[in-house]
Amino acid sequence: MLIVLNIGFFIWQLTFSDSSESDQVAQAGIQGVSERDQNSIEFGAIPYRLLHPGRDCGIGETSPGEADVVCEGTDEYDRAAADPHFVALDDAPWFLTIFTSMFMHGGILHIAFNMLFLWIFGNNVEDAMGRGRFLLFYLLAGLAAVYSQAALDPSSTVPTIGASGAIAGVLGAYALLLPRARVLTLIFIIFFVTLVEIPAYVMLGIWFVLQFLPAVGQVATPDVAGGGGVAYFAHVGGFAFGLALVRLFATRRPGIPGGPAPTAY
């Protein structure tokens, strides 16, 4: 169901043009903000809105010829709102964007890898929790992820989208529930390709380190973290949530799979 919902949201996103401005933005004379960009802003999780409930945002020129997302309660918003090029957005309620953002993605590879990891690792975690508890766990992991990223730079107006944070929670749960399950992993070494069985705790440990190190860099340079790219701190927050709370949700121990679980790395 979660995979179907994610794919459904992505197909909905594709109905918005990535190469032309929306009518609202075009009429205001703002360049470089496509229909899909505006959709991501309106339904993505904007850190400033999450930490300042009730504040709406818009698109305005923060400097000549440069448009940006600005939110109520800031000097940038006051200046941009006075400009004729300002566009007031029809934002979804801030609390709703916490959940809509979890089902939106930035491209084919983004959703493909997220759904692959959810399909591979979510199955056993769901077995341990049951459907209802797993769904609640998944959504709460996503909630922990978006607020982890928001706490890194509370003034950021860059929308966060993607299921990665919620899925990171599933990976953290899997690491504790089935640490010795072996994962069939595809490895590339220059032109050499091979399949190797790796214990889940080793693979997920490597994955976590690859998220944690860039996250530390984002903590050291929050201005860069608020400028777009990968929300590494959301991955770290989701994974930590999964490690910390899996025992509260798991009602039984999942059986070790009969064979290795296939995945790509």
Digit-coded pLDDT (tens) for 112-133: 999 999 998 999 999 999 999 9
Burial of 119 (0-12, 13-18, 19+ CB in 10 A): middle
Single-letter amino acid, residue 169? G
Q: How far apart, in Å, do the first and last CA atoms of the chain sit?
A: 25
**pLDDT tens-place string over residues 170-202:** 999 999 998 888 776 766 666 667 667 778 888
For residue 259, is pLDDT > 50? no
What pLDDT sits at residue 131?
A: 94
Looking at per-residue pLDDT, the higher value among 139 and 91 belongs to 139
User: Which of 115-119, 165-169, 220-224 comes out lowest in average pLDDT?
Assistant: 220-224
Q: How far apart are CA 84 and CA 60, in angstroms?
A: 9
Position with higher pLDDT, 175 vs 26:
175
Q: Please name which of 210, 208, 196, 201 lies closest in space to residue 263, comparing C-alpha atoms.
A: 196
- Specify the pLDDT at position 265: 33
Higher-pLDDT residue of 255 and 6 is: 6
Give 186's strand partners.
195, 264
Instruction: Give 211's DSSP letter.
Output: H
pTM for the structure as a whole: 0.86
Q: Which two tokens stand for residue 173?
A: 């749960």
Residues pairing with 183 in the sheet: 198, 261
More confident residue, 193 or 7: 7
Q: Calculate what percentage of the chain has a pLDDT beyond 90.
A: 49
CB atoms < 10 A from the CB of 207, how many? 17
pLDDT at 260 over 50: no
Phi, psi for 45 (deg, rounded to 5): -90, 105
- In whole angstroms, what separates CA 110 from the centre of its chain? 10
Q: Which residue has the higher pLDDT, 108 or 182?
A: 108
Instruction: Taking residues 151-166, report their average pLDDT.
Output: 92
DSSP string, 3-19: HHHHHHHHHHHHTS-SS
| Chain centroid, CA 74 distance in Å | 25
φ/ψ (deg, to 5) at 17: -70, 140
Where is 111: in which H helix or E strand?
A: helix 108-129
pLDDT of 212 strictly over 50? yes
Angstrom distances, CA of residue 146 to CA of 62, 68, 80, 203: 26, 21, 27, 24
Query: Which residues lie closer than 8 Å to 109 by C-beta, 6 or more apart?
Result: none
Mean pLDDT confidence for 129-139: 96
